[in-house]
Amino acid sequence: MHISNSVIIVTGASAGIGRATAVSLAQRGANVVITARRQERLAALAAELEPYPGRCFLLAGDIGDTAFARELVAQTVREFGRVDVLVNNAGLGHQSALAAMPLADVQTIFNVNVLGLLAATQAAIPHMQQQGQGQIINVSSIVGQRPLPFSAMYWASKTAVNFLSRS
């Protein structure tokens, strides 16, 4: 697949791996759709990507909201006419003893790390099938293979991502 002129969604693009991925793709001429919760960080990243050949489109929101995850794909298709690659990078975790972790925190972890990823993937697949091509890249963590202390729910969510990716 050629990166230049491809339409690539990167979730969790405001920092870390997502940000570096968006920059690398833009440098290679991709049209990059960046999303994360922090509008100001996305705006700063979009400004940084301006000199590169591809277009940048930003949409701030919480990927853990499955309606937003689906709308992200729909907006991308409206803006560019297609989606070639979905990079499911957004993720979060809380370190806590399992017995002390509030269920609301567990729900948030699974909403972002699993359900948002799944909703975006389900929304992208029909477009990719219609196009006859597409790629979905799920970013996980070594913690999905080897749990660490105080990371049970993060581990469980990344294990789900790993098995979903293999299916």
Catalytic machinery residues: 154
**Which positions ≥6 away from 150 have C-beta within 8 Å?**
95, 96, 97
Q: Which of 4, 157, 17 is nearest to 34 (CA)?
A: 17
Contact by Cβ (8 Å): 38, 60: yes
How do strand 31-36 and strand 56-60 relate by DSSP bridges? parallel
**In angstroms, what CA-CA distances link 39 with 30, 60, 69?**
21, 5, 16
Quote the DSSP letter at residue 144.
G
